[in-house]
Amino acid sequence: AMNTNMFENFAVQENIERLVLRGYSIVQPVEGELACGGCGGGRLAPLDVIFAEAKSLLSPQTELKGIRLLVTAGPTREAIDPVRYLTNYSSGKMGYAVAQAAVEQGAGVTLVSGPVTLPAPAGVKIVQVTTAQEMYAAVLSLYPQMDVVVKAAAVADYRPARVQETKIKKDGEMILSLVRTPDILAELGKYKQNQVLVGFASETDNLRENALAKLFPKNLEMIVANDLTEDGAGFNTDTNVVKLYFKDGQEKQLARMSKLAVAREIISEIKRIMNIAKEIS
Ligand code: PMT
């Protein structure tokens, strides 16, 4: 941790890159208030993040070694004009926690992330995207190399039909015409080979019915359904309350717990699904 100007200095960044190439693990500093009174990047990472990283380095789990896992996180942003966009309340916390839980188990993790302010978990390869179309292109191009895909992102279902090149001026009522974005998960389901596909669903009503209506048509092994009527569940919370629905008809309710604990449960179910597939083949 250090002052932003020092941290962003070319020499410091080059030295950090050199250390990574030599096999050192780096816990990146975060954005926030600094000792000098300013605000910016370079602030010491939260102690629980440093602790979790040190712990996993001292007792690495290797159960997912050799497994390539892709996770998507955060919202997408769909431009209306140069200063406005459509989006949702996703903070990225759930998807980043899944990436963290997978890397803890030794998986090779790629995180395709919409615009959020979270630091990437140590050891995770990050691909930054903004729009649903960019997320679609990134995920589809990486898909053939992946063993597991977890789609925790809250992808915009619609985008403005036309992005105005100049700032729209206010002038009475305005009607915005929207068109559908590609359904990334449905596409993954269509072209699935041996991948384990996990989706998320955020629902305000008919949790089971709505979750199952995504599980089967999208050809998923499991769907993680957030019940948005529960306190501490869903968007931009540190905890979550989810029910897991499986292709084989099983269901599993999880209690309210931190998003990292939920993520660890999800990874443990993915391991179970992969072991069953191995036994069958
Ligand atoms: O980021 P956080 O603040 O931690 O919040 C986490 C979360 C609530 C965003 C996350 O846990 C979650 O539920 N993500 C899915 C949100 C959602 O409403 O999904 P959906 O019902 O629109 O889509 C179902 C599935 O299809 C999702 O896996 C989604 O990633 C995927 N999808 C949806 C639309 C689209 N165009 N492409 C997709 O791939």
Q: Is the CB of 183 under 6 A from ligand 1?
A: yes
Given the CA of residue 97, which atom of ligand 1 is nearest to it? 4
Specify the higher pLDDT residue, 279 or 230: 230
pTM (predicted TM-score): 0.83
Q: Which residue has the tokens 């968007």?
A: 235
* Sequential DSSP letters for 263-276: HHHHHHHHHHHHHH
Strands 78-81 and 68-73 turn out to be unpaired
Active-site amino acid positions: 36
Backbone angles phi, psi at 114, to 5 degrees: -75, 180
Evaluate: CB of 143 within 6 angstroms of ligand 1: no
DSSP string, 20-64: HHTT------EEEE-TTS-EEEEEPPPHHHHHHHHHHHHS---TT
Cα–Cα distances in angstroms (integers) from residue 264 to residues 94, 98, 233, 271, 281, in the given order: 11, 7, 16, 11, 26
Annotated domain spans of the chain = 1-45, 61-280
Q: For residue 235, report the distance from its CA to the centre of ligand 1, in Å.
A: 10
- Ligand 1: which of 72, 90, 187, 242 to mutate, judged by most atoms within 8 Å of the beta carbon? 90
Condensed to tens digits (0 to 9), the pLDDT of residues 153-184 reads 999 999 999 999 999 999 899 999 999 999 99
Q: Which of 183, 195, 200 to mutate to test the pocket of ligand 1 (most atoms within 8 A of CB)?
A: 200
Longest dimension (CA), the chain: 65
Region 221-241 average pLDDT: 94
| CA 133/CA 156 separation, integer angstroms | 10
Instruction: Evaluate if residue 242 carries a pLDDT over 70.
Output: yes
> How many CA atoms lie less than 13 Å away from 5 in the CB half-sphere?
3
Q: Are strands 108-113 and 125-128 parallel, antiparallel or unpaired?
A: parallel
pLDDT in tens, 88-135: 999 999 999 999 999 989 999 999 999 999 988 888 999 999 999 999
Nearest atom, ligand 1, residue 198 CA = 28
CB 56 within 8 A of CB 101: no
Are residues 186 and 213 in contact, defined by beta-carbon separation less than 8 angstroms?
A: no
Q: Is 91 in the pocket of ligand 1 (CB under 6 A)?
A: yes
SS3 for 41? strand
Task: Report whether residue 77 contacts ligand 1, using a CB cutoff of 6 Å.
Answer: no
State yes or no: pLDDT of 68 exceeds 90.
Answer: yes
* Atom number of ligand 1 nearest to Cα 153: 30
Q: Is the CB of 265 under 6 A from ligand 1?
A: no
Which H or E run contains 20?
Answer: helix 10-21
Q: Measure the CA–CA gap between 70 and 110, rounded to whole angstroms.
A: 5
- The yes-or-no verdict on residue 56 having pLDDT over 90 is no
Which CATH superfamily does the domain covering 61-280 fall into?
A: CoaB-like (3.40.50.10300)
Nearest-angstrom CA–CA distance, 15 and 210 = 50
